[in-house]
Amino acid sequence: MITILAGGTGSVKLVRGFASQVNDLRVISNVGDNYWLYGMYVCPDIDTIIYGLADILDYERGWGIKNDTFNFLRQMEVFGEETWFRIGDRDAATHLIRTNMLKNGMNLSDITKWMCEKFAVAIKIIPVTDNSVETRITTNKGELHLQEHWVKYRGKDKVEGIQYIGAEKARPNPEAVNSIHDSKLVILAPGNPLTSIGPMLRIKGIRKELSKSKKKVVAVSPLIGDKAISGPATQYMEAAGIDVSAYGLAQMYSDVCSNIVIDTKDKALAKKIQNLDVTVYETKIIMKNKQDEDALASFILKQVHV
């Protein structure tokens, strides 16, 4: 069994790489990006993984369903609503049915299980908690939900801090804790360390289980040099006072992980990282197509000895 902690568009590629090579793969999904919109509960990280594994993800954008239409959104515009968050028509059905199920008393884990069945996704996707955790960004203009900071205002307001509202009190999903415990390998996907992986690490039971299992935990860097492969990781790392590099990442993860995969271009950092008692593996980490996804997963399966 292999477990991967995932969130966001960077993670789904590696999840797909493992999915084609591992029989029992579990995905623990971030919930900090979840966002209430027009009375619908949107879970971007869960949906991106489901759509990616169901092969209906819009890969160009990294979110939503490919070839989706936007009639619903156009009508919301007619009604005078803000439409900066681009919910497609088919995607809206996912959020609507999920919200109905929540209102009928089902929890997010069971809804996600049901959703996987409907999309014929055999891999277990486990929300890290069924409680509410919300990633909020403190900026020079005030506090914003992550989606507002990144999508509505395109990340232009200066980040002064990041908070995970509800994380301290959130009960970890017991299935997530058991999966970490029972897996022979646990991967921290190359997602944004502050907004995709960070909220999950802030949940006490998850952090504790990862710390206990750290010898078998492998982080995959989402950075090359001081640049993120995609998304706003660098902006958030800077704000959190973390060195913007694979070294900074290894420092941030060093309590919960003993291994890191970095890009070959970052090999000069290897010695410094190893001094943190973190074993370094170097390979090509950019995933531009399915071959790259499979190659990175295969590298980890064959080369990383935990």
State the residues that interact with ligand FO1 by CB under 6 A.
7-9, 33, 42, 44-45, 47, 63-64, 85-87, 91, 147, 151, 196
Closer by beta carbon to ligand FO1, 153 or else 281: 153
Closer by beta carbon to ligand FO1, 151 or else 306: 151
For the chain, the C-alpha Rg in angstroms (whole number) is 18
Q: What DSSP element (H or E) covers 193? A: none
Is the separation of the CB atoms in 33 and 45 below 8 Å? yes
Packed helices 89-103 and 71-78: angle between N→C axes, nearest 10 degrees: 80
Supply the minimum distance, in Å, between the C-beta of residue 94 and ligand FO1.
Answer: 8
**Burial annotation 37-76 (CB, 10 A radius, 16+ → b, else e):** bbebbbbbbbbbbbbbbeebbbeeebbbbeebebebbeeb
Tokens read off for 253? 């993860």
Supply the minimum distance, in Å, between the C-beta of residue 240 and ligand FO1.
Answer: 17
Closer by beta carbon to ligand FO1, 8 or else 17: 8
Burial class, 179, CB count within 10 angstroms (exposed 0-12 / middle 13-18 / buried 19+): buried
Listed in sequence order, the residues at least 6 apart from 1 whose beta carbon sits closer than 8 Å to its beta carbon are 24, 25, 26, 179, 182, 183, 184
Closer by beta carbon to ligand FO1, 40 or else 296: 40
Closer by beta carbon to ligand FO1, 90 or else 113: 90
Packed helices 44-53 and 8-19: angle between N→C axes, nearest 10 degrees: 30
Supply the minimum distance, in Å, between the C-beta of residue 155 and ligand FO1.
Answer: 10
Supply the minimum distance, in Å, between the C-beta of residue 45 and ligand FO1.
Answer: 5
Supply the minimum distance, in Å, between the C-beta of residue 184 and ligand FO1.
Answer: 27
Closer by beta carbon to ligand FO1, 98 or else 214: 98
Supply the minimum distance, in Å, between the C-beta of residue 15 and ligand FO1.
Answer: 13
